[in-house]
Amino acid sequence: MNEHIVIGAGIAGLTIAKRLNCPIIEKSRGVGGRMATRRIDEQKFDHGNPCWPDSMRTQELHRGCHVPGGMTSLPKKIAKGIDIILETRVLKLHQQKDHWLLETDKGDYTANKVILTAPLPQALGLLDESKISYDPQWKLSYHKSIVGLYRMPVSAGAQDILREHQIYFMKNRGLCEDGLSFYLSAALSEEWFELTDAEILERTTRLLWTILPERLLYHAEIKKWRYSTPETSHNTPFLKPALGLILCGDGFLYPGIEGSLASAESVLRDLLK
C-alpha cells in the first residue's frame, strides 16, 4: 500500500512526487508533459511551452531552457530517483473504505491518497469514468496549440512579419542552429487542429514561403497539443472531489508553468502540514 500516488509526470506531478517520495503513473513514454523536446536526425527542437514566466519560482526553469538537452532536461533531472510507471493509463479510480484502488491498463495500484495532475479536462474525464461526482463549475476550457518544427533559414525582420499572420517562432539555440519552432496562434490552432499533419504542413509552408525570401526547407513536421494552456484558471490552488483525492496542476491560480508550480507547492503544504 502506497501512502501517496501521483497521476501525471508533468512539472506539477514531478515536483510533488519528488518531495513525497512516492510513485507516479504516466500514460506517455516520457516525463515532462508540455516541457517537451523532440529529436530529429540528431538535432533537437523545443516544442512544448513557447514562453517562460519571469519569477523567482521559475528561475530554475529559465536555467534549464535552451541547454544541450532542451527544456525537457529539467523534468528529466527532477525525475531521477522517482518511481515512474510509464506508458500506463489509469482507467478508473475506486474509493475503498480507507484507501483508493487505481485500475490501469496494466494492473491495479493502491494508495491512501491520490494526486491527479493531468490537464483538468482529462482529470474530470477520469472522474466521470469513475462515477465520482464534482461541481460542473470546475470545468475549464483549454487552448489548442499547433507547433511546426522546421529547419530553414529565416531572414532578419521575419519575426515581426510572421506575427502579423498569427505565427510566432522560437529559435532552438544550443539545440539546432537552423531549427525553428513555429507556434500558431490559439485562433489558428483551433481552426486547423482537426486537419491532418500533412494538410497543416502544406498550409503553413505555403504561408511561410509568401513571407520569407529563401525557399530552403531542410525538414518540417507538426506537433499538436490538445490541452496547451487553460483559457482561465481556478482561483483556488487545488480541488478535492473526495476524501484522499486531489486535483491540481496548470488549471489553478495562473495558466502554464507558473500555475503548475504554485499549485504543486500548495498541495505539498496541505499534505505535509
Residue type present at position 239 = L
Per-domain residue ranges of the chain: 2-35+72-140+233-272, 142-230
Grid cell for residue 64: 534549464
Please tell me the distance from the alpha carbon of residue 115 to that of residue 13, in angstroms, as a whole number.
8
Return the percentage of the chain with pLDDT > 70, whole number: 86
The pLDDT assigned to 131 comes to 98
How do strand 167-171 and strand 219-230 relate by DSSP bridges?
A: unpaired
Closest C-alpha among 227, 260, 19, 236 to residue 124: 227
Fold annotation for 2-35+72-140+233-272: FAD/NAD(P)-binding domain (3.50.50)
Please tell me the distance from the alpha carbon of residue 54 to that of residue 18, in angstroms, as a whole number.
23
The rounded average pLDDT for each run of 10 residues, N- to C-terminus, in the chain (273 residues) is 96 96 96 82 70 44 53 86 98 96 98 97 98 97 89 73 73 64 86 96 85 76 91 95 97 86 96 92
Instruction: Dump strand ranges (E) for the chain.
Output: 2-7, 24-25, 37-40, 43-46, 84-85, 90-95, 100-104, 107-116, 142-151, 167-171, 179-184, 219-230, 239-242, 245-247
Same fold, 2-35+72-140+233-272 and 142-230: no
Q: What is the pLDDT of residues 75-110, one digit of tens each?
A: 888 999 999 999 999 999 999 999 999 999 999 999
Architecture of domain 142-230: 2-Layer Sandwich (3.30)
The pLDDT assigned to 53 comes to 42
Cell 513525497 appears where?
20
Closest C-alpha among 105, 162, 93, 78 to residue 130: 93
